[in-house]
Structure 1
Amino acid sequence: MKYVIGVDLGTSSVKLLLVNQNGEVANEVSRSYPLIQEKTGYSEQDPEQWVSQTVVGLSELVRAFDGDVNDIEGISFSGQMHGLVLLDESNQVLRNAILWNDTRTTKQCQEIYEKVGKERFISITKNLALEGFTLPKILWVKENEPSIYEKVKTFVLPKDYLRYRLTGKLEMDYSDAAGTSLLDISSKQWSTEICELLDLNISICPPLVDSHENVGKITSDMSKHTELSESTNVFAGGADNACGAIGSGILSEGKTFCSVGTSGVVLTYEQTGDKDFEGKVHYFNHAAPNAYYTMGVTLSAGHSLSWFKDVFAENEDFDTLLKEVGDVPVGANGLLFTPYLVGERTPHADATIRGSFIGMDSSHRKRDFARAVLEGITFSLQESIEIFRNNGKTIDKVYSIGGGAKNKEWLQMQADIFDAEIVKLSSEQGPGMGAAMLAAYGCGWFPSLEACADVFLEEAESYLPIKENAAQYKKLFSVYKQVYNKTSDLNEQLMEFRK
């Protein structure tokens, strides 16, 4: 039996999957690393932590493997998007990586619009200039850390740096490049126009490759540290959301998934890169060959639930916290939550908006709040689905992965709020499985990623919308959508009181 490894380099940990030719996960290892948050809005990591923890994790995976290490034929990667890793002429890291959830770059986003023009920028990149993306981070370093910027030879994203350390070769795939705000999405080339207007040397942009492309082998030094064979093929990999799409079978028109992690994502397949969503949702190159996807993002999805548990139910696990949400009626007895704990992305690109509980009274109990949190997260995701539907997409079946797929009440809630069939996969590994599938396809096990998905992925259970609940949620959703406009000015005024 042959095997591949899928590496998912996330925000809080790296997860490694050993997958055989039948798509079965033979083993998995997870290694965590810390966030560095020195100021409000700042979020960084030490890239060396990604490397050291991945190397230890690979070694653990190989040592537990009872077969011939040469049967592990390939490895590929999924990685957190948008993070900025700056390298000097020797490919040494110049500073901590600035992550996707860092919001210090509001001024730089405005500068992009002033110098490029908002409409022109969207026409090239298919996306808004957002604080979380890579380009504003580069401009921030250029303005605030000029001595570091002077030494910059190139930049990469997190998983690209990890792959470089394993292979000694430096590239970026199209799906991750699409999230930098420097890629011309349709032509699949770095934008000379944007670089020139912002006085950036286009030479800092790395070579571009397809996600399934073989980019080399494990170096002899890394072979010793990881115990992988030097003959192990290394494939470029892709952005975590693109790999999550592959790992959920989102490989043809009409396929959609909803993923709840720290952030939440609704993603749907697009055959071409020439549609115009006016920047209302993200529009990126897929990790699947010659394909694209559109995506709406809730910045604080699973994070909202984790925050609520940590603050109000510190000594309970998630199962205990959510045990009674099924006993609470639709609408949480008139309690409504908006999950804007760290700002919002879709449909409101707003770094200053903050969350709210609306409608609290003394009759409400913890279980009402817990249900309201789940409903609020799901309403936020529904805003993305509404945009897709308003632009002509038919969404009647949604694959649910991540934290939102672990609770039956939440799965039914998604079916009712989305008014669509919700499908849970039998083995839900998301981005890590997508990375493994890219390696399997790259190794030549299958003629296409679709053929790989037919073997690797299997539907386990589904949830259909309950008509009465869907009708109630439709009413409540119209109330939910009003909260943003009615609280945005209040939150702006509260900014000066935040420390």
Structure 2
Amino acid sequence: MDYLIGIDVGTTSTKAVLYNTDGDIFGYANKLYPLIQENADMAEEDPNVIFQATIDALAEVTAKADQTQGKILGVSWSTQQHSLIGLDKDHQPTTNTITWADNRAEKYASQMAADGSGLALYKRTGLPTHPMGPVYKILWLKNDHPEIYKKTRYWVGLKEYLLYRYFGQLKQEYNMAATTGLFNIHQMDWDEESMKLVGITRDQLPELVDATHQLTGMNPDYAKQIGFPADTPFIMGGTDGSLSEIGLGAINNGEVAVTIGTSGAVRTFVDKPQIDPKGRIFCYPVMQGKWIIGGPVNNGGIVFRWVRDQLFAPEKVMAKELGEDPYDVLTSIAKQVPAGSDGLIFHPFLGGERAPIWDGNARASFFGLTRQHSRAHMVRAALEGIVYNLYTVELALKEATGEPTEIRAAGGFARSPLWRQMLADIFEEPVTIPEAFESGCLGAMVIAQISLGLADDLSVVNKFIGKKNTYQPDPKTFENYREIMPIYIRLGRKLQSEYSAIAEYQRKREPKE
């Protein structure tokens, strides 16, 4: 029996899954690490801590493989997108990993949004105007931290740094490159205007390769720590969003994937670059003839975590003492409140927002509170607010692609029947939940199958997904949502004019870096 490993390097943890070539699972590992957040706009990670997490995860699943009867054919990578790491001339980090959630480049993204140059950059690169983009992060470092900028010889993302540690090569697949704002999606090469904007040259960026490109010649010390031969190939893979889409089996035009983990997204595949005139949706190449468009949101499961820790701290402690999952407790509390939360609306922008408003200054709010509302209403309104926001992304996506043929959903939220039904009711569409485990790892494994000649194309994923459950919208419930959604949307537009003012007020009172 031979094996493949899919590894997913996410924002809060690295997960690895050991498969045989038929897609059966033989091992799983999950290694956590912290975000570094000294103020509300900061979101960094230590890349060396994450590197060790990848070694530990790979070692744990490799130990489950019987290498006396077969071998590990390859390791394929799914990795968080929009990260930035500066490297000096000796390839040592000059920064931590500045993650997608870091908002400190907001001033420069806002300036370019206001003068139209951000929209022009989007039309070349497919990256919406937002401080998540590495191009804006480099601009911020150049202007606000020139000592770091001058010391930096190379600009890479997290995956590129990790693979450099393993192989001593700086390579980046087109899919990840497109998330930087430095890559021209029409010319399929580094974008001259974007590089000029931030004052760098192409020799400061990784070499561009395909998703199926294999790296070989691993550092033997790391191979020994993991427990497989140093000639085991690593396959480039892609971004976590693209590979999660593949792992859900939403690979055909019209099939929409909704994912909610720490953050969330609504995505679909198209067969050529597709740009939104309003700049609301991203557009990135994945593989030959496959482009992914859609919108990511900052505020997914992280909102539920905030509700748990800040509004329901006593219940969290009690649940742990009783051996219960605090999230299950909160979900049961939310079930006590009717759909629409009796008119309580929550805009879930705890960490700024990406799609569809692309405003790093966005802030969360409850609206419609009365004396009749309780904490139970607040938890349900928070859960609904997450899905309302995803629905507004879907509205923008429909303008580009038309009505979806199918909606598939995954992520931590998809384990909850309440959230599954809420998604179907708010979207007013049947929602299918594939039971595939760790869709990002599965998508990475599919890329490995193609790279190693075990499969011809992405359709092989349909052999591995397994059982699917479909939730139908409840007419008695979605009438409530149909009435409240226009209020949510109109209110959001009115609040947007004040986001920058309240964000600036808050920044003045935060600790300095």
Common topology (TM > 0.5): yes
Is the partner of 1:235 in helix, strand or coil? strand
Distance in 2 (alpha carbons) for counterparts of 1:257 and 1:467 = 23
Equivalent residue, structure 2, for 1:487: 495
Aligned partner (choices 430, 446, 450) of residue 421 of structure 1: 430
Distance in 1 (alpha carbons) for counterparts of 2:260 and 2:273 = 26
Q: 1:366 to 1:40 in 2, by over 3 A?
A: closer
Equivalent residue, structure 2, for 1:348: 357
**Greater Cα offset, 235-244 or 117-126:** 117-126
Equivalent residue, structure 2, for 1:74: 74
**Greater Cα offset, 258-267 or 227-236:** 227-236
Equivalent residue, structure 1, for 2:284: 284
AA paired with 1:311? Q
Query: What's the CA shift for 1:226?
Result: 1.1
- TM-score for both structures, normalised by structure 2: 0.92
Equivalent residue, structure 1, for 2:344: 335
Is the partner of 1:424 in helix, strand or coil? strand
Equivalent residue, structure 1, for 2:385: 376
**Counterpart check, 1:185 vs 2:185:** yes
Is the partner of 2:151 in helix, strand or coil? coil
Equivalent residue, structure 2, for 1:240: 240
Is the partner of 2:502 in helix, strand or coil? helix
Q: What is the number of equivalent residue pairs in this alignment?
A: 497
What does residue range 18-417 of structure 1 map to in structure 2 within 5 Å? 18-68=18-68, 71-110=71-110, 112=112, 117-286=117-286, 288-314=287-313, 315=316, 316=319, 317-417=326-426
Equivalent residue, structure 2, for 1:17: 17
Q: Does the 8 A contact of 1:322 with 1:367 survive in 2? A: no
Distance in 2 (alpha carbons) for counterparts of 1:468 and 1:77 = 44
Q: 1:147 to 1:334 in 2, by over 3 A?
A: closer
Equivalent residue, structure 1, for 2:481: 473
**Greater Cα offset, 374-383 or 322-331:** 322-331
**Greater Cα offset, 246-255 or 482-491:** 482-491
Query: What's the CA shift for 1:468?
Result: 3.2
Equivalent residue, structure 1, for 2:323: none
**Greater Cα offset, 409-418 or 85-94:** 85-94
**Greater Cα offset, 264-273 or 245-254:** 245-254
**Greater Cα offset, 176-185 or 438-447:** 438-447
Distance in 2 (alpha carbons) for counterparts of 1:273 and 1:384 = 18
AA paired with 1:212? T
Q: Does the 8 A contact of 1:217 with 1:234 survive in 2? A: no
Measured on the aligned residues, the alpha-carbon RMSD in Å equals 2.0
Superposed CA deviations along residues 200-236 of structure 1, whole A, max 9, x for unmatched, are: 2232121111112112243322211211212311111
Query: What's the CA shift for 1:15?
Result: 0.7
Q: 1:111 to 1:491 in 2, by over 3 A?
A: closer
Q: 1:143 to 1:118 in 2, by over 3 A?
A: closer
Superposed CA deviations along residues 108-128 of structure 1, whole A, max 9, x for unmatched, are: 225656898344322201233
Is the partner of 1:27 in helix, strand or coil? strand
Query: What's the CA shift for 1:269?
Result: 1.0
Query: What's the CA shift for 1:489?
Result: 3.9
Is the partner of 1:236 in helix, strand or coil? strand
Q: 1:115 to 1:356 in 2, by over 3 A?
A: closer
Distance in 2 (alpha carbons) for counterparts of 1:201 and 1:218 = 28
Q: 1:447 to 1:453 in 2, by over 3 A?
A: same
Query: What's the CA shift for 1:413?
Result: 1.0
AA paired with 1:458? G
Q: Does the 8 A contact of 2:109 with 2:118 survive in 1? A: no
- TM-score for both structures, normalised by structure 1: 0.95
Superposed CA deviations along residues 281-318 of structure 1, whole A, max 9, x for unmatched, are: 111222x3331111112211111111001112222410
